[in-house]
Amino acid sequence: MRLKDVEQVYGNRISVHWRTFPLIPDQRSGRRATEKTGEGWQRAGVEEPRALFVTPAVGVELPASSVPALTVIKCAEQQGRESFQRLHERLFLAYFRDHLDIGRPDVLWTLAREIGLDVTRLQQDYAEGEAYEAALHDYAEGSAWFGVSAVPTVIFNEKLSLVGAVPQERYHAVIDWILAGEPGGILPVAADDKSEATATRPGSA
């Protein structure tokens, strides 16, 4: 939501590229929602009320892995930016609002069909394996180069990152600084007591 707002403000002066980062890169069968899960979603809903977080009941089954959904997202990207955006938004709602198991390919095909994507092509691209490798490459690069360990993490110009539920004004501050030629070489943001957001350069602690 916030990045979409940023894109509207800056238009073609910036380009937003999404990278996959599976929080569950392996298979963990039997995952179920707990009270802690609900508390985390409630906090996220307060931070971004437009995102439609619906707290899951304790015991609701959760996806065993996030890799299938992120692989399909990579496949959708091959059908164009609009297809990617539509599926990205639908997957978010499917998980956080509708509590669907987006770790299951049959659920993913249903969602893709629902929003009008070419499901036959998606299935073919999914089976070929290149999208899977691309998703894991994003994950490896994010972990090794930028030290990403949580989402959301926004990386600017391959130079620095802001982590967590960052106010939109901070995104504006960094973008304005970059567009101005990075005057002074000093980052225009700093973490405060009200946010877990941090600004880091690749490889820094």
What mean pLDDT do residues 52-59 have?
89
Query: Do residues 141 and 55 share a domain?
Result: yes
pLDDT tens digits for 133-176? 999 999 888 888 778 877 888 989 887 888 877 888 889 999 99
Q: In 11-167, which residue ranges form alpha helices assigned H by DSSP?
A: 35-47, 67-77, 81-96, 105-114, 119-128, 130-146
Q: Which residues face 199 on adjacent strands?
A: 162
Handedness of CA 198, 187, 171, 146 (dihedral sign): negative
Q: What is the pLDDT of residue 196?
A: 40
Q: What is the pLDDT of residue 175?
A: 92
Which helix H or strand E contains 178, and what residues bound it? helix 168-179
Query: Do residues 102 and 176 share a domain?
Result: no
Is residue 195 domain-resident?
Answer: yes
Could you tell me which residue, 108 or 199, shows the higher pLDDT? 108
* Residue 147 C-alpha from the chain's centroid: 16
Domain that holds residue 26: 17-146
What mean pLDDT do residues 2-6 have?
86
**Whole-angstrom Cα distance, residue 23 to residue 167?**
23
Q: Which residues face 31 on adjacent strands?
A: none
Helix (H, G, I), strand (E, B) or coil at 155: strand
Query: Do residues 121 and 185 share a domain?
Result: no
Tokens 């380009």 correspond to what residue? 15
Q: What is the pLDDT of residue 105?
A: 94
pTM for the structure as a whole: 0.80
Categorize the per-residue pLDDT at 189 as very low, low, confident or very high, splitting at 50, 70 and 90. Answer: low
Is residue 38 domain-resident?
Answer: yes
Query: Do residues 130 and 46 share a domain?
Result: yes
Q: What is the pLDDT of residue 151?
A: 81
Query: Do residues 134 and 164 share a domain?
Result: no
**Whole-angstrom Cα distance, residue 87 to residue 102?**
12
pLDDT tens digits for 64-122? 999 999 999 999 999 999 999 999 999 999 999 999 999 999 999 999 999 999 999 99
Is residue 10 domain-resident?
Answer: no
What mean pLDDT do residues 37-48 have?
84
Tokens 């800056």 correspond to what residue? 10
